[in-house]
Amino acid sequence: MNPRRRRLTAGLAAGLVVSGSSPAEYLVTVTDEKAIRDAYGRLGIRSSARIAGDVFLVVFDADPGLATLEKLRAAHPAIRAVQPNQRYRATPQ
């Protein structure tokens, strides 16, 4: 196994390295959890999970795009914000 791959494998095993951002993951801030399904249900939600307070990680089967999600958010006052989930990779020393 080459050294770079060995470091990546070791980092994944340790939970330190996370792959690049998934284009179908979004953070959605709501005042009512039901609003996620109401607004985005027809877009193919794979899963949604509360990650902190009123913020949910929503994973879509296919990326609907931020513009589509923002347009639907505007029609649902219970959805306060939506943004792509940004994952970060720990850089090897």
Residue 10's pLDDT is 41
For the chain, domain boundaries: 19-84
CATH number of the domain at 19-84, please? 3.30.70
Nearest CA to 28 out of 43, 11, 13 is that of 43
Name residues of the chain where pLDDT drops below 70.
Answer: 1-23, 93
| pTM for the structure as a whole | 0.69
* pLDDT at residue 93, rounded to an integer: 66
Q: Which residues contact 83 (CB under 8 A, 6 or more apart)?
A: 26, 27, 66
